[in-house]
Structure 1
Amino acid sequence: MDYDGHIVITDLMITFHHFAFENTFYHKGWHRIEKELCLHQFQQTAWLHVAQAKEEDLTTDDLVVTDIKVIKVGEPNPNTDSDSSWETRAAGVWVRRSKYTGHSRQAITAIDVLFGVDAVEPRPQWSLLQTPLQLSIRPELPVAKLSVRRGMARPNPPAVLRVNGDGKFKVLQISDTHMITGVGVARDAMGPDGQPLPKSEADPLTVQFLGEILDVEKPDLVLLTGDHVHHDILDTQSALFKVVAPLVERSIPHAAVFGNHDDEGIYALSREAQMSLLQDLPYSLSEPGPKQVDGVGNYYLQVFAQAPSKVPLLTFYLLDSHGAVPSEVKTRDYDCIKQSQIDWFTSTSEELRKARKNDNENDSLHLSLAFMHIPCPEYGDSNLILKGGHRGEPTEGPSYNSHFYDALVKEGIVAVGCGHDHVNDFCALRPQSDGSIVGPWLCHAGGSGFGGYGAYEGKRYYRRARVWEFDTMSGDLKTWKRVEYAKEKVDELVLVKGGTVVDA
């Protein structure tokens, strides 16, 4: 329904069809939730439909949905001698409808469907019903759960990033979580002594691992650098919510760029749709970026001095590194950073630098970094000087070099954070043609998710995430990793001192 006012739900129903003869349920005022409840795994399809009405069109004689329950087969229904207001629907659903009181906050105003026993609901005002719809699906398939919103959606005020009182600011980079619809199966997992672990559920392990890092590091910002979800999954939204829920629960600002797998598959949500979901979440700083620039998610974030100062001390550029492309050069090839992105980055960097100088502020300690999923070709340079980690697999980047690295050097970017290669977790500098070392540091985060691979040529690696800590008073940047089972920081490394890249 295309309408900017308030909408309330007046009824709902679930319909079943044979997929070969499926027809859409069309009635005025009804809307189909575009999620097939059996996840396209059966000859029969099931769809949830909701009746919607504009609040301004309702009278006190109209019925609106004020509560929903799902009852398991064999359990008593919610009707009692003192309360017979519940009405039964298909798939174990019961609805309570009451006369409209004139206040939408007492009514259900939106309904959604999430999948999996481990489904989570990070959106404010939404509640996930824990009992799944009674659909008689195979036990190995993710169950469907209803999520309902009461009242009208409130705007999500944007967070302003500021350094702490000591001038420090900490970023946690999480990459390659590879969540799926449902719990998934852990790949290449190891115990504390390096022993291969038996088959286990992937996504609960990932959520636990990330939660432990968040509670230890308490970052000021989390950057999600792609492959949040696995390829060819059945419901992107359910998987994506599992990545961001730990951040929302802890009130941590977060921003994301997409990886090559995030929108792969016939049922995958587009990058645009995923970005819309991310933008609506509390503490989200994600943006789609300019429409005239290739990709979705080309934008920048600034970290300011303490309030009420408007002086930016740090700038983070986030770029969409696209995905796989057909190639005659190599078996798995990837798209490059496009010229429109390089032009956007260069012009934006120049404008921000000019603005800082116009404010008559000392710009020598300002640090700029870039984050994306797929590494640029220079990550594979055999002349790289590796520090603070290792190369566990060959660099999987684009065969075509659009020379984005050269633009990074020209604009004084001090470090780049990538994902994609799960068992690469190094930082490195690339010597220039004249032998000088100017930066940027080229760093990998390593894979964080148990649903993605964690081994190369038979050797397994622990899951990890990268921490970046800035001291804006001295212009210093340190980085380290948090790794499974390790109680202390791993591979701590000083990248920048006094605003200048440290020579490896």
Structure 2
Amino acid sequence: MAQEQKDLYLYTSQQSAWLYVALAKEEELGAEDLLVVDIKVGELAPNPSSGHSWETVTEVDVLFSTDAVDPRPQWALMRLLLQIYSHLEVPVPRLSVLYGRAKPKVQPALRIRQDGTFKIVQISDTHMVTGVRVCKDAIDAYRENLPESKADPLTVDFIGKTLDVKKPDLVVVAPIIECLIPFAAVFGNHDSEGIHVLSRMAQMSILQNLPFSLSPAPSQLPLLTLYFLDLYGQISSKIYNPDYDYIKQSQIDCARKKEDNNNPFYLSLAFLHIPLPEFSNCDLSIRKGYKREPPEGPYFNSHFYDALAREGILALGCGHDHVNDFSFHPVPWLCYAGGSGFGGYCLYGRERIHRRMRVWELDMSTESLKTWKQVEYAADRVDELVLVERGMVVEPPAEPVKGCVVV
């Protein structure tokens, strides 16, 4: 079993504090071995006559910050904090305990609603931090519709985690899990930053074992295929600064259209964090939204966009450039989600940019696909755009480029 080492001061102090936990395999335990059946945090000893029903402790974790949450099944977050005395700016550590054996995760099912619609909410650039957060849940705008939309997936673009990557992950997905919404995640450039950060494999292991997680999960067909790709992160370059890693051939080979399933109306969408080089193509026409900053993606073009076009994938959603939220034509459509968090930059020049997220809606009754933005303080849909109607790609008239573009 791999060990995860984490300084309880999060490497911010000259002193260090460590919690060591020894795990043993059940089949290796003998009759003389003792088991830990509970953990208490506090200055007073627990009352042995409390009548508590004991269950074996099988794993212990450390999360940071007073507002930490743990939506993992059978995990209990200790109410009291660990008694270490640090500066106020250092997030305080809390223990989380797994009781009993972890039960196998039930794979969530994605289904079209009775009215023929299927909705995806793309949340990008949350920029959650390890300390106490002050923002609202990103899904508040759709909370009133949750009883009829529990089968809709929520694609989450995790970006901007600092110091302890696990706590922001769990904070973002906790309200999603609470509302019984299936979700998937793609990583961004910040998810590998820092010398103490968890590997992407370790982060994905956390995510894929959460309730309602589809990260990763194979497509079950037959109406819609969703591709989630990792564009890795920033790389050093003597040609282009900043420069980012590019889509590899192995990823292009995976993005193959599924076999024909005799369904006349079939859609495929793709999601990644960092925009492809084609987002900087001046020949493409903006149909809706704002281009406020130059798209920032990989200098090397591995022609993943061309592969998407050949496979008939209709649209690709990305994030990364917080104040861009425009949609490009032709097919595949290229659409920015826009930044959703308080942690990233939301002021460009003198213009205050409100938080927002992109919504995608498939309607089988009309064989259509549309998208719009849900913007902070706006009650109605913003920049709604019909991409497909009656099974045919729609080419709406081009609009003037809105917003300032710095060259």
Q: TM-score, normalised by structure 2?
A: 0.90
The residue number in structure 1 matching 2:235 is 325
CA distance in 1, matches of 2:355, 2:46: 50
Find the partner of 2:157 among 219, 225, 249.
Answer: 225
Which 5+ residue runs of structure 2 have no aligned equivalent?
397-407
Counterparts of residues 2-401 of structure 1 (less than 5 Å): 34-56=5-27, 62-71=33-42, 77-79=44-46, 83=49, 106-183=55-132, 203-205=133-135, 208-216=136-144, 218=146, 219=149, 220-227=152-159, 229-230=160-161, 233-287=162-216, 301-302=219-220, 312-345=222-255, 348-349=256-257, 352=258, 354-356=259-261, 361-363=262-264, 365-401=265-301
- Residue 448 and residue 84 in structure 1: after superposition, are their counterparts in 2 closer, same or farther (change >3 A)? closer
User: How far did residue 328 of structure 1 move?
Assistant: 2.3
User: How far did residue 159 of structure 1 move?
Assistant: 1.8
User: How far did residue 266 of structure 1 move?
Assistant: 0.7
CA distance in 2, matches of 1:336, 1:182: 32
CA distance in 2, matches of 1:341, 1:153: 32
- Residue 459 and residue 300 in structure 1: after superposition, are their counterparts in 2 closer, same or farther (change >3 A)? farther
* Letter of the structure 2 residue corresponding to residue 122 of structure 1: P
CA distance in 1, matches of 2:170, 2:180: 15
* Letter of the structure 2 residue corresponding to residue 483 of structure 1: V
User: How far did residue 460 of structure 1 move?
Assistant: 2.0
Is the contact between residue 38 and residue 55 of structure 2 (CA under 8 Å) also seen in structure 1?
Answer: no
- Residue 260 and residue 54 in structure 1: after superposition, are their counterparts in 2 closer, same or farther (change >3 A)? closer
Which one has the bigger strand percentage? 1
User: How far did residue 301 of structure 1 move?
Assistant: 3.4
Q: Find out whether 1:458 has 2:339 as its counterpart.
A: no
CA distance in 2, matches of 1:234, 1:322: 19
The residue number in structure 2 matching 1:425 is 325
CA distance in 1, matches of 2:332, 2:33: 64
CA deviations over 1:153-198 (Å, ceiling 9, x no partner): 0011212212112221010001111111112xxxxxxxxxxxxxxx
Task: Give SS of 1:110's match.
Answer: strand
* Letter of the structure 1 residue corresponding to residue 191 of structure 2: D
Is the contact between residue 314 and residue 366 of structure 1 (CA under 8 Å) also seen in structure 2?
Answer: yes
* Letter of the structure 2 residue corresponding to residue 243 of structure 1: V
Q: TM-score, normalised by structure 1?
A: 0.73
CA distance in 1, matches of 2:294, 2:219: 31
Is the contact between residue 209 and residue 484 of structure 1 (CA under 8 Å) also seen in structure 2?
Answer: no
* Letter of the structure 2 residue corresponding to residue 39 of structure 1: L
Is the contact between residue 226 and residue 419 of structure 1 (CA under 8 Å) also seen in structure 2?
Answer: no
The residue number in structure 1 matching 2:405 is none
State the 4+ residue runs in structure 1 displaced beyond 3 angstroms: 51-63, 82-85, 216-219, 299-302
CA distance in 2, matches of 1:428, 1:300: 28
The residue number in structure 2 matching 1:188 is none
CA distance in 1, matches of 2:271, 2:50: 57
- Residue 149 and residue 300 in structure 1: after superposition, are their counterparts in 2 closer, same or farther (change >3 A)? closer
Is the contact between residue 226 and residue 420 of structure 1 (CA under 8 Å) also seen in structure 2?
Answer: no
CA deviations over 1:128-152 (Å, ceiling 9, x no partner): 0121101011111100000011111
* Letter of the structure 2 residue corresponding to residue 326 of structure 1: S
CA distance in 2, matches of 1:417, 1:446: 10
CA distance in 1, matches of 2:368, 2:5: 49
- CA RMSD of the aligned region, Å? 2.3
* Letter of the structure 2 residue corresponding to residue 440 of structure 1: P
Is the contact between residue 254 and residue 283 of structure 1 (CA under 8 Å) also seen in structure 2?
Answer: yes
CA distance in 2, matches of 1:60, 1:317: 50
Identity of aligned residues (%): 52
The residue number in structure 2 matching 1:449 is 341
The residue number in structure 2 matching 1:18 is none
* Letter of the structure 2 residue corresponding to residue 256 of structure 1: A
Is the contact between residue 33 and residue 49 of structure 1 (CA under 8 Å) also seen in structure 2?
Answer: no
The residue number in structure 2 matching 1:477 is 369
